[in-house]
Every structure is written in structure tokens, then in C-alpha cells.
């Protein structure tokens, strides 16, 4: 068992322990830490075991090291198997309900015998949940709303969560003997913000495929395993579905194309092939004279007289029109970014200092960074008053004077958009004017009517000191639907006023979503891919924002933070003017 499979097993143990309540909280944390430690190893765990160095790995304790040893030596864990039998499978679904963490799930299980969503709904509708200590009427109401939301997103996982597991599985598959190629496919490859599972396509000889499919099924409970010809499917303890197909290498390219989807895009490709007297199938592209050789997807598209369509643009057939004209957008990438905005520090609810965030930005090769702590209305997050912002501004100015050649820090604020549409601190003389930029975000009063929320946002956009609209819909992926408002009217006003619209890259948000960016771009709206970082590590959240930007068809010119420091300075000054 390699490090990736070991890490998956340790993560599953951590999940199952969390569901057993407070008494297992620290043990669960230990196994989650051990999973990360094993994942980061640059040597084979087998070598560590043979050289008596396994227990010396940082992040492993005596209990977790024993489990890793057993996984290496036997390929399984008795402790994991015991936990799988101890925790009802339906309890894992309860964790997806907003307001329910492992402790509350365990409380409901112990006091009401609740093991499934159906049982939870029945108990909540009967008023039983509200009578449990620590719950109450308000949480019971939220739970009922959450159950409806969970059912609408049943079986789906956030992109970031699924990608973490997918990367481990892909590394596991690529490490199998005899594998020629292995790639990610499906919704995750297309960059959907929530996915129904992880899909992979691998290639090898028949005997290799047989071994790989069996090894793949071995990473999850046997009861979840399904085999059908050259395909295998299984499910992890947290409910994430995993699917793999193993084919001869000459079929790999078209198998990957079909497994990536979408169905509409692939069907349009097949129809185009038929019009050209070709046949496009999962086992290859065929002409009357035999198979059309294709080393990669680019060759398939070229044979159909099309430019290669990036996976993010394959939700429908419309991208083929542009591909036929060789007019597809040149999508933004990580390498295009020169900095970002919307970063929190210890001044509010962040975990890093201003200087820490600056140094982390330098490590990423950026030339600027925008600090934007919460404003005073966000008291729950340590929001800053006018004097706090002045103090932070002085610190930023001092850092800039000492480090002018290394990075430019911009001083900003994430100011609440109040219920009436005013921007927090706007009435404080000179406060917003003293900052380099202002992000306006809705953090309260989500349940306003569509008409009132639209008026609220439009008034905020009319504030001349507003630079960016933060996490515009307020959605939390698989946790809360966004508030209702007239998106077209808001985008139109943002374009008219020159307000930049954020792609908030927090993996729970990824907001504004990709579906709205073609309309925003048509209205001249500029995007800012921001991490909403509360630590130095979270600066890397911008990777998820890039996924949304690419899927929305955005090019570097459409994104503020692909611009040089000088261009950004001019853009911010023009907005203030």
C-alpha cells in the first residue's frame, strides 16, 4: 500500500471518529494530521518501516504509527474495519446539514436514535430536535431548511474537497505497475464548483488493468465496490464516489474525452464527426479506412477541424462554434496573477500579521497584495473601527517604505453593505477616502425580498468610494443558497459605475460563479480573483478562483490582478477619482 492509499485510510478513520463525538475529537485530529504527514513524505513508507524510521515521522504518534505499520504490512486496518461497522452509514450524510457538526450529530444519535436524514427530518417536524439540550426552535428550523438544501445537492462534494482526494487517488493510480497513462476526468476536470464524484481514466495492458481495478477497489469498504468490465466504482466513508476506467492505450484519448464530458459537448462532437463521415466513440475516432491516430485530445479536435477546447468550456456545444473559428478565449492561469486583494490579518479575524501576509505574497512571486480586514459592523469578526484602520494604515505605510523594491501593500477594508445599502464607515469623515480600495460585502440580513436585496446592492454600487463587490451572491457551496436579487441589474450597474466584481476563491464560496461571467464580461465588468485569505496558506485559495474564471471564459485582460503594479495603481486611483 503506497502513501496515497495510506493517507486515504487515515482520513477515513478521522471522519468516522468525528462522528463518534467529543470523546474522540483529539484522536480524530491525530489521524487527520497523520494523513497529511504521510501524504507529504518524499520517501516510500515501506522504506521507512524497513529502516525502523516510521515512528520518527513528524505528525505520527504511537497509535497512528501502529495503524500505518499495519496498513503497510497487511494492506488493511482492523481499527478501520471496526469503525466502519460501528458508525451507521447514514450518519455521514448528517454532517452535510448546516449547523450540524460531529458533536451535534452524535448527540442526536444518542438521545433520539437518529441515523439518517429521513429520521432527522421526521424528528425535526415533530418538534423533538428543539427539545434536545443545545438545539432549540431556531436551530431546528435551520436544520429543516438545511435538509432540503442537502437533498437538492445530494451526493455532491465541493470542488476543493473532491480535488484533494482526487489528487491522492491519481497519484495512487499512476504508481501502479504497468500503467501507461492516468488522468482525471469528469466534472472535476471540467471545473464544476460541486461534483458528484471523482472520475479517472487509465491505460495499460489487460493484465495491468485487472490489477489496477482491483487495487482501486481496495481503498474503500468492500461493500461499496462495483465492477463491470473495464470499469470500477467505489465510495469512501464520507460518501465521495470514485470511478475509474482502464483501457488499452490506443483508446485512452477518446476514453478520456468521453469520461470528461459533458454529454452535450460530446454529443455535439459526435454529430460533427458524422457529418464528416467519421465515427467518434469511446474506443477511438474511426474513418472508413480505419482508426484515426490520436496521441492526445488536440489530435481528435484537429481531425474534426476544431481548435482544442479546454475542459472548463465543455459544458455545452456552444464552445464548438468558437473552436471552429479558432476564436476560443486564451484562459487566465495561475502564472498570470501578479497579486491579489481581500486578505485578512490579526487586526480582525485573520491568523497572520500584515508582515506575514506580505512575505507569503513575495514567496509566491507576487508584486502586490491588498489587505482588507473587516469593518466595525462585523463585530463577530473583530471588525475595525476608524482608529484601527488608521493604525493599520500606518503599519502598511511603514512596511512599504522599508520594502519598496520587494512588494507593494495596498491598504483596504472589507466593509459591510448594510441592510439599507449604505457602506459601513461611509459616514465616518475621511476614513474610506484614506484607503487604497474598499470591498463591499453582504454579511447579514440575507432573507430580504428579491426586490429589496436588489435595491440594497444597487445603492451600494452607487457609492463612489466602493472599489469591489465582494462574494456577490453570498452562497456557501452545499451549505447555503445565495440570496435572491436581479443579477442582470446588478451587473449592469457594476459595469456602468466601474465597480470591480470579485471571484471570491474561498473553497466554500467560489463566488461569483462561472455561469454569470459571460454576461458580466459583456457589460465590461472587471474581475478580481481574491482568496478571502485568513492565513498565509489561504493565499493559495486563488487557485479555486482561477477555476471559476476559466470556466467563465475569462482571459488575463478581464482580471484586475493579472495587471502590473503600475496598472493596478492607476486603476485604483481612477476609481477613487
Do domains 90-152 and 334-576 share one topology? The answer is no
Query: What separation, in Å, do the N-terminal and C-terminal C-alpha atoms of the chain show?
Result: 62
* Averaged pLDDT score across all residues of the chain: 92
The span from the CA of 262 to the CA of 551, in Å, is: 13
With beta carbons less than 8 A apart as the criterion, state whether 332 and 362 touch.
no
With beta carbons less than 8 A apart as the criterion, state whether 11 and 35 touch.
yes
Q: Helix (H) and strand (E) counts for the chain?
A: 23, 17
Say yes or no: domain 334-576 is CATH 3.20.20.140.
yes
Show the 3-state SS of 468-532: EECCCCCCECCCECCCCCCHHHHHHHHHHHCCEEEEECCCCCCECCHHHHHHHHHCCCCEEEECC
Q: Quote the pLDDT of residue 3.
A: 83
pLDDT tens-digit series, residues 193-233:
999 899 999 999 999 999 999 999 988 877 788 999 999 99
pLDDT tens-digit series, residues 148-161:
777 766 678 899 98
Q: What is the mean pLDDT of residues 515-524?
A: 97
Q: Phi and psi (nearest 5°) for 503?
A: -100, 100
Which CATH number does 158-324 carry?
3.30.460.10
Residue 22 has pLDDT above 70, yes or no: no
Residue 266 has pLDDT above 80, yes or no: yes
Instruction: Tell the CATH superfamily of the 3-86 domain.
Output: DNA polymerase beta, N-terminal domain-like (1.10.150.110)
pLDDT tier, 42 (very low <50, low <70, confident <90, very high otherwise) = confident
pLDDT tens-digit series, residues 56-106:
899 999 999 999 999 999 888 999 989 888 877 677 778 778 778 777 888
Q: Quote the pLDDT of residue 93.
A: 76
- Residue 501: exposed, middle, or buried by beta-carbon count in 10 A (0-12, 13-18, 19+)? buried
pLDDT tier, 370 (very low <50, low <70, confident <90, very high otherwise) = very high
- Residue 554: exposed, middle, or buried by beta-carbon count in 10 A (0-12, 13-18, 19+)? buried
Q: Where are the beta strands (DSSP E) in 275-338?
A: 279-281, 284-287, 290-291
pLDDT tens-digit series, residues 224-241:
889 999 999 998 866 789
Q: Which cell numbers hold the place of 499?
A: 465597480
pLDDT tier, 454 (very low <50, low <70, confident <90, very high otherwise) = very high
pLDDT tens-digit series, residues 303-359:
999 999 999 999 999 999 999 999 999 999 999 999 999 999 999 999 999 999 999
Most confident of 45-54, 107-116, 357-366: 357-366
What letter would DSSP give residue 380? G
Sole residue written with cell 469512501: 236
What CATH class has 90-152? mainly alpha
Q: Quote the pLDDT of residue 154.
A: 66
3-state SS, residue 333: coil
Q: Quote the pLDDT of residue 152.
A: 67
Q: Quote the pLDDT of residue 368.
A: 98
Q: What is the mean pLDDT of residues 21-45?
A: 83
Domain chopping of the chain, boundaries: 3-86, 90-152, 158-324, 334-576
Amino acid at each position: 500500500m503506497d502513501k496515497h492509499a495510506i493517507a486515504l485510510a487515515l482520513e477515513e478513520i478521522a471522519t468516522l471518529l468525528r462522528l463518534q463525538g467529543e470523546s474522540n475529537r483529539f484522536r480524530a485530529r491525530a489521524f487527520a494530521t497523520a494523513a497529511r504527514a504521510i501524504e507529504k513524505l518524499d520517501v516510500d513508507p515501506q522504506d521507512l518501516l524497513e529502516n525502523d524510521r516510521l515512528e520518527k515521522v513528524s505528525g505520527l504518534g504511537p497509535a497512528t504509527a501502529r495503524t500505518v505499520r499495519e496498513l503497510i504490512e497487511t494492506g488493511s486496518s482492523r481499527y478501520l474495519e471496526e469503525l466502519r461497522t460501528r458508525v451507521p452509514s447514514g450518519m455521514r450524510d448528517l454532517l452535510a446539514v448546516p449547523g450540524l457538526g460531529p458533536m451535534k450529530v452524535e448527540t442526536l444519535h444518542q438521545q433520539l436514535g437518529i441515523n439518517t436524514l429521513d429520521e432527522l427530518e421526521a424528528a425535526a417536524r415533530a418538534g423533538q430536535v428543539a427539545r434536545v439540550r443545545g438545539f432549540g426552535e431556531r436551530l431546528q428550523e435551520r436544520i429543516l431548511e438545511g435538509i432540503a438544501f442537502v437533498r437538492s445537492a445530494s451526493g455532491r462534494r465541493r470542488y476543493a474537497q473532491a480535488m484533494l482526494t482526487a489528487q491522492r487517488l491519481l497519484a495512487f493510480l499512476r504508481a501502479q505497475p504497468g500503467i501507461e497513462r492516468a488522468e482525471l476526468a469528469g466534472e472535476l476536470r471540467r471545473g464544476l464548483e460541486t461534483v458528484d464524484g471523482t472520475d479517472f481514466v487509465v491505460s495499460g495492458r489487460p493484465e495491468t488493468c485487472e490489477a489496477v481495478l482491483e487495487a482501486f477497489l481496495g481503498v474503500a469498504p468492500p461493500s461499496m465496490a462495483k465492477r463491470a468490465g473495464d470499469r470500477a466504482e467505489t465510495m469512501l466513508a464520507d460518501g465521495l464516489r470514485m470511478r475509474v476506467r482502464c483501457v488499452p492505450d490506443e483508446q485512452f484519448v477518446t476514453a478520456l474525452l468521453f469520461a470528461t464530458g459533458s454529454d452535450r459537448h460530446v454529443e455535439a462532437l459526435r454529430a460533427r464527426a458524422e457529418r464528416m463521415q467519421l465515427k467518434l466513440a469511446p474506443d477511438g475516432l474511426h474513418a472508413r479506412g480505419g482508426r484515426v491516430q490520436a496521441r492526445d485530445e488536440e489530435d481528435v479536435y484537429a481531425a474534426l477541424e476544431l481548435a482544442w477546447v479546454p475542459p472548463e468550456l465543455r459544458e455545452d456545444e456552444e464552445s464548438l462554434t468558437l473552436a471552429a473559428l479558432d476564436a476560443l478565449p486564451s484562459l487566465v492561469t495561475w502564472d498570470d496573477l501578479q497579486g491579489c486583494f481581500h486578505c485578512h490579518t490579526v487586526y480582525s479575524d485573520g491568523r497572520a500579521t500584515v508582515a506575514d501576509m506580505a512575505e507569503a505574497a513575495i514567496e509566491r512571486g507576487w508584486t502586490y497584495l491588498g489587505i482588507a480586514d473587516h469593518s466595525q459592523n462585523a463585530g463577530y469578526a473583530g471588525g475595525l473601527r476608524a482608529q484601527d484602520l488608521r493604525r493599520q494604515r500606518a503599519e502598511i505605510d511603514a512596511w512599504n517604505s522599508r520594502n519598496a523594491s520587494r512588494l507593494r501593500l495596498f491598504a483596504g477594508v472589507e466593509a459591510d453593505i448594510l441592510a439599507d445599502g449604505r457602506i459601513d464607515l461611509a459616514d465616518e469623515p475621511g476614513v474610506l477616502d484614506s484607503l487604497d480600495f474598499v470591498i463591499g460585502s453582504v454579511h447579514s440580513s440575507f432573507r430580504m425580498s428579491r426586490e429589496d436585496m436588489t435595491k440594497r446592492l444597487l445603492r451600494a454600487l452607487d457609492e463612489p468610494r466602493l472599489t469591489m463587490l465582494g462574494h456577490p451572491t453570498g452562497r456557501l457551496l452545499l451549505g447555503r443558497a445565495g440570496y435572491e436579487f436581479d443579477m442582470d441589474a446588478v451587473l449592469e450597474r457594476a459595469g456602468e459605475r466601474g465597480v470591480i466584481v470579485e471571484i471570491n476563491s474561498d473553497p466554500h464560496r467560489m463566488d461569483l460563479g462561472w455561469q454569470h461571467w459571460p454576461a458580466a464580461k459583456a457589460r465590461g465588468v472587471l474581475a478580481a480573483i481574491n482568496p478571502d485569505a485568513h492565513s498565509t496558506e489561504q493565499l493559495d485559495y486563488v487557485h479555486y478562483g482561477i477555476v471559476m474564471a476559466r470556466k467563465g471564459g475569462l482571459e488575463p485582460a478581464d482580471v484586475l490582478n493579472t495587471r502590473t503594479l503600475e496598472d493596478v495603481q492607476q486603476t485604483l486611483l481612477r476609481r477613487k477619482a
